[in-house]
Structure 1
Amino acid sequence: MKNTIKYDHIAHFRTSQVVNRGETEILFALHGYGQLSEFFLRKLSPLFKEDRLIVVPEATNYSYLEGFSGRVGANWMTRHERASAIINNNQFLNGILESLWIKYKEKPKLKVLGFSQGAATATRWVSQLSVPVERLILWGGGFAHDLEPGMAQEKLNDSLCYLAIGEQDHFLTPESLQKQDQLVKDLGIKAKKVYYPGGHEIDVELLEQLLVHHIS
């Protein structure tokens, strides 16, 4: 007989700096499959600014990347017990945001980046947030296929949403892009597609533009 239990769990996240309470924006950056927060944050180091706090949560599912030893990576979920994983991810991310949010008298703008597998997790998270998201950037990934259209549209109606697509990204096929286009249409979300010449990696110069400017 299958049973379920709730318990306290220790999870980790990294930040670009110690909170100085002078930040005007907080960027939550969700890494991709098999990555770790330490190295993902390092890739974003050119974006570090005193008035920008970058927060990189580390997914709580770990595995060896090859065989039974060596490098370890983290992932947000697999198809096994996915419903529980979605709940756990949302609660984990909510907890991080709440712990930071209370530090500010004047609340910073909240911006969210989801890279690869982290993109779907990011969209599930922002779709249940009570805090407004100023912009959502999905890089090398897209909206989760199981979002509730009404809820997602309501939460993101006033948000800037961007889909960053690498012209050499072998993970993004014409079929997957077509399905994503239809999903965005069904969700009723306005999302601007931005193309860049690279592959399945983040172009920090383009990311900076997407974080700061309104690209139409």
Structure 2
Amino acid sequence: MEAHEHRLQVPRTARYYQLGELATAHQLFVVCHGYGQLASYFIRHFRLAVDHVPGTVVVAPEGLSRFYLQGNGGRVGATWMTSEDRLTEIEDFSAYLDTLLHQLRAACPADVEVTVLGFSQGATTVSRWLLRSRFTPVHLVLWAGTFPNDVDPAAAAALLARIPRLTVVCGDSDSYLPEERVNEQLALLRQLGAQPHMIWFEGRHEMKPPILHQLAQQ
């Protein structure tokens, strides 16, 4: 007898970290980590921006799936999605991020501006989320990651047309995203009607707090 696949929606607890006070926020950064990272470590890169740009708040949600990075113990990382049951995971994290954002904005001043930033796998994550969401940020930052190329071009073009600012950030020695792939990504975004601002830095597949500081100042 063949087994039949079913779906069951269940409540679960998601974790996120926050720097800064929502009640006095002028700008809110929602930042999504890369594959195998944890939000508690990822958010540390943003301390410089929060400490030196008044009114800046950073919130780092964590992927819903965790795993041991090596073997059966030791360091733990999180992921937003894998190839297994991928579409369901995308719908789940999109609903999660929508729920979180609604809660955060309710606690902020009405005129708070929201920037969405994704690093590595997080760049694809936030892109897929925004394609499903009614929310549009004032600034989308794709850091060492890509906008998905397997989505409906009309929906992608409509989303990118609504976002006032789009920034792509990458290291000049990033083995995961070499210059050739970055140029392909820029070409895709322009084909979809976007006008991305490109920032190169000296480094690899990593975050750079001084650049995050600059983004917060803008």
Q: TM-score, normalised by structure 2?
A: 0.90
Q: Percent identity?
A: 29
Please name the residue that 2:122 is paired with.
118
User: 1:101 touches 1:107 (CA, 8 Å); kept in 2?
Assistant: no
- Distance in 1 (CA, whole Å) between partners of 2:173 and 2:104 is 37
Distance change >3 Å, CA 35–CA 135, structure 1 → 2: same
- Distance in 2 (CA, whole Å) between partners of 1:146 and 1:164 is 21
Runs of 4+ in 1 over 6 A off after TM superposition: none
Please name the residue that 2:149 is paired with.
145
Matched, 1:7 2:10: yes
Matched, 1:43 2:45: yes
Please name the residue that 1:93 is paired with.
97
Match of 1:74 among 62, 75, 78: 78
Please name the residue that 2:184 is paired with.
179
Match of 1:193 among 188, 198, 203: 198
Give the secondary structure class of the aligned counterpart of 2:128.
Answer: helix
Give the number of aligned pairs: 212
- Distance in 2 (CA, whole Å) between partners of 1:105 and 1:198 is 37
Cα-to-partner distance string for 1:81-136 (whole Å, 9 max, x where unaligned): 11011101100100100111222452310101100110000111122332331111
**Deviates further, 58-67 or 199-208:** 199-208
Amino acid at match of 1:135: H
Distance change >3 Å, CA 42–CA 104, structure 1 → 2: closer
User: 1:65 touches 1:73 (CA, 8 Å); kept in 2?
Assistant: yes
Task: Select the structure that is richer in helix.
Answer: 2
Q: Quick one: higher RCO (CA 8 Å, sep 6+), 1 or 2? A: 2
Please name the residue that 1:23 is paired with.
25
How big is the shift at 1:180?
1.6
Q: CA RMSD in A?
A: 1.7
Give the secondary structure class of the aligned counterpart of 2:24.
Answer: coil
Amino acid at match of 1:139: W
Match of 1:161 among 157, 162, 166: 166
Distance change >3 Å, CA 133–CA 64, structure 1 → 2: same
Q: TM-score, normalised by structure 1?
A: 0.91
Matched, 1:130 2:134: yes
Question: Mind listing any 5+ residue stretches in structure 1 that lack a counterpart?
Answer: none
Cα-to-partner distance string for 1:18-76 (whole Å, 9 max, x where unaligned): 43x22111100100111101111112211114511101000011110011110000011
- Distance in 2 (CA, whole Å) between partners of 1:25 and 1:155 is 21
- Distance in 2 (CA, whole Å) between partners of 1:6 and 1:68 is 28
Amino acid at match of 2:142: L
